[in-house]
Structure 1
Amino acid sequence: MALRPIDNALPITAERPKKQAKISVPPPKEKPNFGVNDENNVPMPPPITADSSIDYIPSENLKPFPDPDLKIQGLVGGLESKDWLKVCESLNDARQLALFHSDILLPDLEKVMMVIAKAMKNPRSALCKTSIMASSDIFKAFGEKLLEPGISNVFDNLLLQLLLKASQDKKFVCEEADRTLKTMVESMSPLLLLHKLRAYVGHFNLRVRAKAAVSISNCVSKMDLEGMKEFGLAELIQTAANLLNDKLPEAREAARSIVISSYEALVENEEEKQEYWQSFCQSNLPAIHAQAIVKIVSS
């Protein structure tokens, strides 16, 4: 029997249940498990810093090799390694060879210096400092041989890198470069070195100018009057006059030191010295520069 529809009945619609929002919960971070034997977790070694693997050995603590001929055979290969720790180790070997077996190192000296200059550009401070220490020991061992025509161009590159490193902000690298520049001046003829350094007092980097000025000042302080005249006394005074207007106090102080050393060497007779000095400055400098130079010694 068919059912009759109910009049005026409202349609019944079933309400669909609302979907619950999905919440993604990130899995908890697992802490590295150092030194624990767990079959589900591969142990990781604790991190080490780069510098902790490097020993900065002072020159006085280095010792001769029992078999230097054997050590020299692998030196260049070690210096050219892609492993920076191996390069540091080989740089220390080069230091020992330079100080105690310089005759054995001499045939490879140019290659070694090229690697040292390259290592100074490396962003790793440990490698950079080790290379600076190596250059210091090479200066001590070979001195003026580094200024001879066959190797002079390599020395020029090394000198520029040292001036740049002495000018940077990393204190322990900067201090090591400063010490090495002093060692360089102590190990070489000041006259020969002045010809190399004078190119950098006009460098666009004001810190490089200042470091070059300090090295020039240290050279001049070692020279007698004959050495100054051979280099060019007028050129020394002109260099000092230009540096007196430099932005950095280090450069200006170096300029004053150059002036005083030149003045003290120029005339032995104290009564004639001031008059002769004034005449010399006026003859070789513009009036305003001459006045500034004369004022340094008169005060």
Structure 2
Amino acid sequence: MALRSLDNALAATAQERPKRHPKVAMSMQKQSEQVLGGVNDENVAPLPPPPPAAADAAVDYISSENLKPITDPEIKIRGLIEGLGSKDWLKVCEALNNARRFALYHSTLLLPIIDNVMVVLVKAMKNPRSALCKTSIMASSDIFQAFGDNLLVSTTSDAFDNMLLQLLLKASQDKKFVCEEADRALNTMVVSMTPLPLLHKLRASASHANPRIRAKAATSVSHCLSKMEIEGMKEYGLVSLIQKAADLLNDRLPEAREAARSIVTLMYKALTESEEEKQEAWQSFCQSNLPAIDALAIVKIVPK
């Protein structure tokens, strides 16, 4: 009797247990149909997109020397903005390379729309696709080379400042090939532009809250100073320069500290070039404009 009761209980439990196999089979069927494109069921999670590495590898990084002039540039300039605004990132890469060609060979046609182009450059630099990011950085380098100081005259302040900030940020990130390209673009910027107005543009970034941006901006400041005579430094402000160098000398990043030492050395050479008592004049300048502990640290940098 006990065994018969146990059998009856097991049979009842088996009848009450829900059957899951059909549901699983239906789910697998829906997934299969989705892969084949037969059914578009919003309740079925979409498959993840393919990794971008393969597509990124298909993008050609064309050096500036290998870019060619555009045939019929007056006609093709009309479609440049449309190409830059495409939702297909590969077409945007192609348009960016065309923008580079316009900058290098047909700059007068590109200048009226340079603000719009720079907005696209900044947007592309923020894109997670490395190929798009690198191509936009290469385009910024060619634009610096082609326009130089005209960028500060012919563009809005925000357009230039946003592009500069993104280049400083990309130059300080972990992806080596993007970082190196951004460094090259910043160097081209310094070479192509007059140092004094560029120093004013770099002022805010040299005090940026992000230490990596601050370090890259400090390096660009030192490169600008290497192109300046004492008159240019005085026009910018010697006191501001030495105070900024003192701040950077205490920065936590080695790159910022190295830039500070470079700034100090360049200022010392420019200030004491015509002074007979070089060390005394330098010490007097530092002690007059810095706290005692900072002045001592600055004075120790230059040779006695």
Q: Establish whether TM, by shorter chain, passes 0.5.
A: yes
Residue 58 (str. 1) matches residue 81 (str. 2): no
> Unpaired segments of 5 or more residues in structure 2?
29-35, 38-49
Match in the other structure for 1:220: 225
Mark the CA change 1:150 to 1:48 in structure 2 (over 3 Å): closer, same or farther: closer
Give the Å deviation of 1:67: 1.1
Please tell me the residue identity of whatever aligns with 2:190.
Answer: V
TM-score (norm 1): 0.84
Match in the other structure for 1:108: 113
Give the Å deviation of 1:298: 3.1
The 8 Å contact of residues 275 and 281 in structure 2, kept in 1 or not, is answered as no
Please tell me the residue identity of whatever aligns with 2:113.
Answer: D
Match in the other structure for 1:77: 82
Match in the other structure for 1:187: 192
What aligned pairs does 1:13-162 form with structure 2 within 5 A after superposition?
A: 49=52, 50-148=55-153, 150-162=155-167
Give the Å deviation of 1:269: 4.3
C-alpha distance in 1 between matches for 2:94 and 2:127? 15
Give the Å deviation of 1:59: 0.4
Please tell me the residue identity of whatever aligns with 1:189.
Answer: T
Give the Å deviation of 1:277: 0.3
Match in the other structure for 1:175: 180
SS state of the match for residue 140, structure 2? helix
Residue 259 (str. 1) matches residue 275 (str. 2): no
Residue 246 (str. 1) matches residue 251 (str. 2): yes
Give me the CA root mean square deviation. 2.9
SS state of the match for residue 74, structure 1? helix
SS state of the match for residue 298, structure 1? coil
Match in the other structure for 1:203: 208
> Unpaired segments of 5 or more residues in structure 1?
1-9, 30-40
Identical pairs, percent: 68
Greater mean alpha carbon deviation, residues 226-235 or residues 63-72:
63-72
Give the Å deviation of 1:123: 0.8
C-alpha distance in 2 between matches for 1:168 and 1:287? 36
Give the Å deviation of 1:198: 1.1
Match in the other structure for 1:36: none
The 8 Å contact of residues 146 and 152 in structure 1, kept in 2 or not, is answered as no
Q: Which runs of 4+ in 1 moved over 6 A?
A: none
The 8 Å contact of residues 136 and 180 in structure 1, kept in 2 or not, is answered as yes
C-alpha distance in 2 between matches for 1:84 and 1:174? 21
The 8 Å contact of residues 111 and 154 in structure 2, kept in 1 or not, is answered as no
Structure richer in helix, relative to its length: 2
Give the Å deviation of 1:91: 0.2
The 8 Å contact of residues 81 and 117 in structure 2, kept in 1 or not, is answered as yes
Largest Rg, 1 or 2: 1
Query: How many pairs align?
Result: 278
1:114-173 CA-to-partner distances (Å, cap 9, x unmatched) read: 110111111111100000000000000000111127422210010011111111111111
Please tell me the residue identity of whatever aligns with 2:80.
Answer: L
TM-score (norm 2): 0.83
C-alpha distance in 2 between matches for 1:297 and 1:48? 52
Match in the other structure for 2:237: 232
Residue 277 (str. 1) matches residue 282 (str. 2): yes
Mark the CA change 1:254 to 1:190 in structure 2 (over 3 Å): closer, same or farther: same
Give the Å deviation of 1:270: 6.3
